[in-house]
Structure 1
């Protein structure tokens, strides 16, 4: 959402965000307008995709029907409603032949997907687990070994392809699997798309390790790859690798044909399975609102600017706008928090500066306290239509960064430091050019890293789990105490404890 909105805003388009009720939760839409036409978006989905196309993509069974009707290769399979019996589903699985894949027809991000189910017993267990969760139906498919590739298609053209490798670690002969997972999760924090998608150690991971006679304490050999998941979803620890230039013409054609098989779908993501059986690729899913992070932040290969190419398609006149190379950005987190909390229902973002901003940072040595003088500096910065921040670097050093449409405007800010009450607090000023991105507005940075909403939610969940464990442990201890207190031995020995009290006092 943010990458597309930011690209459009930098091109000079008017940007609005608004909240709406999506079932039982609040969600966010946004619009971009050039004054003549306005387009509406949800996530990476735009209004050039019809509502009917989105509805088809949201139903895996319906998607499969459209693909098959257009002779697009798909793994053999069938969808079942919630009224279907376990016997009917197992009977079909035997007809397809084990191993099979079980998917909820309306879930996203790999939730509730079971792969490589080898027999009736494993399928029955997966069915029982699936039916404990709310879904409108299930899809059974033949399990085919191969590589899964997410292909992004826009207006009949393949723009990007990313291979997704399931969560795994590579041994070094010294660290345990648990230590390797921790190390990989630390590395994922440095990649925006993966930062809040760690490899989670759950029952599925433990079962996969156990099937290979491994545990969290096992130490893999140097260079040995240990897979932790059977699905390659990024949300469960998968890793994206750009393979756009490696796709064959036949594979690209399959992806393009898949999108065109769904009436009203102009752009979307195609999950393509490439194997010995399906060298041109078999289509697993088509998504009208696919995540773009894998294409923007691949672990290996070249990033693809999908937001830029999307805006070229929706607003072709903005293709060479100077603002598209701007170094300014807006504070999306505050917007999202305001809409999520219900404080506001619609927010229009202040128009973007027309060009790349000139910026400079002043390093001030002296007794200048950022907290005390923030309102004063904020007023001066905004009066001059500049942007920037104040930051306490050390006990006697403060940084003030300012950015404006020209170098002259930024240089002119220096005169602010000659003001009487401020000048007396400054011992020395050093200047440097600022080359990093600039956030709109003026703020105080206190030096501590703020937590995102996702990180706060994770901390809350972990705290609640810890609290539940403490309560359970407390109940166990109280049960044991009651058990001992009510025992005959405890009652018979009470006179000994009474005799012991005077001795303890002495």
Structure 2
């Protein structure tokens, strides 16, 4: 069934569809399943540009009809998938080429005892998460005591085959949106937080923040949900919902920075040293077949030049969301949809049949673009 209206549940597709129609590119919605292993999403924005037909939904871009094994098409990042969906393997790949990443180890669920024993092998706080997780689910950063560590490992193991344990790095989480061959947008992903007024409790401040979110209705910014993970994070930082923060004190409520968990997307380009754009473009261009991604990078001091010890690449996203760039909580909108359409019209770089024989390694701080 075809439908000429926007799919109301997919703001990412609305962003791309609106940008396409502004250029005179016709769009429509079609139903279909990407593969039997990936049945969702099932409703796709269809459009044509540069002599090719594309399908798009929830950050996933397909080149229509180019895969004989699937009815819909070939993922725009198909050749890069096996690498970037494995977080530790992707970090090893980047580390070998001179890019900064947090040290980590992967453990199988069947060897849970080894995962539980690994806590003592790290010199500082650790982060526990699925090695192939998405959307910030079951990510537990800044763990400094064994009891919380063992609980986190068991929770990840209950739902995933592979558990990633890595050093927990601190700073500001910045997401770089890449459309080959360059970074086209950046944003700061600030974890769910409230700002004290000297009289209200954290619980009251959360209610007020959610009321503000309801009034503003910024797409991609969910309300803050008070659950056990939020309470546990507060307890880990020595706080509780009944605490009264000082006036102007920002209290973080989670360690993750996803819109679905109440994070804020903020414009940050003016505060970011320009060297990061070159470093992240070089990192993405080093991955064979990676045409479109958003890269999560923890940066200790964004104003300082890119160098080891000041930034760590955490992961590359195969299906990057568009909405937070078009609808930030604070800052100017960034036209990532326009950058994607530009790439469609000129033709995405052909996917190589195999990785290049060698990728020049950086000596350290700034790989050449």
Does TM-score exceed 0.5, indicating one fold? yes
Match in the other structure for 2:338: 308
Match in the other structure for 1:263: 288
Structure 1 pair 154–13 and aligned structure 2 pair: CA distance change class (3 A): same
The counterpart of 2:314, out of the listed 269, 284, 296, is 284
Structure 1 pair 295–70 and aligned structure 2 pair: CA distance change class (3 A): same
The counterpart of 1:7, out of the listed 5, 12, 19, is 19
In the TM superposition, what is the alpha-carbon distance from 1:161 to its structure 2 partner?
1.0
Number of aligned positions between the proteins: 314
Pair 1:79 & 2:106 matched: yes
SS of 1:209's equivalent?
helix
In the TM superposition, what is the alpha-carbon distance from 1:141 to its structure 2 partner?
0.8
Partners of 1:163 and 1:261 in 2: CA distance: 24
Partners of 1:253 and 1:305 in 2: CA distance: 19
In the TM superposition, what is the alpha-carbon distance from 1:22 to its structure 2 partner?
5.3
Query: Could you tell me whether the CA contact under 8 Å between 2:299 and 2:311 is conserved in 1?
Result: yes
Partners of 1:39 and 1:148 in 2: CA distance: 31
Query: Could you tell me whether the CA contact under 8 Å between 2:182 and 2:281 is conserved in 1?
Result: yes
- Higher relative CO (Cα under 8 Å, sequence separation at least 6) belongs to 2
Match in the other structure for 1:227: 252
Match in the other structure for 2:353: none
Pair 1:51 & 2:75 matched: no
Pair 1:31 & 2:46 matched: yes
Partners of 1:211 and 1:34 in 2: CA distance: 50
Structure 1 pair 142–40 and aligned structure 2 pair: CA distance change class (3 A): same
In the TM superposition, what is the alpha-carbon distance from 1:108 to its structure 2 partner?
1.1
Match in the other structure for 1:127: 153
* Larger Rg belongs to: 1
TM-score normalised according to structure 1 size: 0.58
TM-score normalised according to structure 2 size: 0.77
Match in the other structure for 1:40: 55
Structure with higher helix content:
1
Query: Could you tell me whether the CA contact under 8 Å between 2:77 and 2:292 is conserved in 1?
Result: no
Partners of 1:141 and 1:212 in 2: CA distance: 20
In the TM superposition, what is the alpha-carbon distance from 1:145 to its structure 2 partner?
1.6
Partners of 2:142 and 2:332 in 1: CA distance: 32
Query: Could you tell me whether the CA contact under 8 Å between 1:199 and 1:237 is conserved in 2?
Result: yes
The counterpart of 1:101, out of the listed 127, 130, 136, is 127
Query: Could you tell me whether the CA contact under 8 Å between 1:250 and 1:280 is conserved in 2?
Result: no
In the TM superposition, what is the alpha-carbon distance from 1:143 to its structure 2 partner?
1.0
Match in the other structure for 1:63: 90
Structure 1 pair 117–250 and aligned structure 2 pair: CA distance change class (3 A): same
Partners of 1:58 and 1:166 in 2: CA distance: 23
Query: Could you tell me whether the CA contact under 8 Å between 1:254 and 1:281 is conserved in 2?
Result: no
In the TM superposition, what is the alpha-carbon distance from 1:9 to its structure 2 partner?
3.2
